[in-house]
Amino acid sequence: MHKVFVYGTLRKGGTNEHYLKGASCISNQCWTFGELHDTGFGYPAIKQHPSFKVFGEIYEIDDEQLKLVDELEDYEEGRENNLYDRIKMTVYTNEGEEEVFVYLGRNQLFEKSCLVESGDWLKYLLGE
């Protein structure tokens, strides 16, 4: 099993939440350090940053779901032209810290992006 932090379309209520059907939500209120950006393509991306926060959820998923999420995020281990990198990062929950997979955007996703100051993709979509 794998733990993954989701912060955009995979979150509960997001357009791609069906990818996580049947997965266990470990934390529905957590955050990690980074900048959340609207890529302009209908989905967000995170850029590492030491003081901004990005909010999301942690799910525990199996190998098959991880493969599906990798495909959605256009990530393949060892490939040069991925849109995202999948790395382990510290995510903070009400119960403490977890080391989980996080998908970080590659440079091409930030060429025309704008910062989501709230760090919360779902609130951003609601205009909050």
Distance CA 8, CA 40 (A): 13
Please identify which of the residues 73, 98, 117, 128 carries the catalytic annotation: 73
- Catalytic site includes residue 73: yes
The encoded tokens of residue 60 equal 């525990």
Q: Of 42, 34, 53, 40, nearest to 8 (Cα)? A: 42
Q: At 111, which amino acid appears?
A: E
Q: Which residues contact 25 (CB under 8 A, 6 or more apart)?
A: 12, 57, 58, 59
Beta pairing partners, 7: none
Q: At 30, which amino acid appears?
A: C
Question: Which residues are annotated as catalytic?
Answer: 73
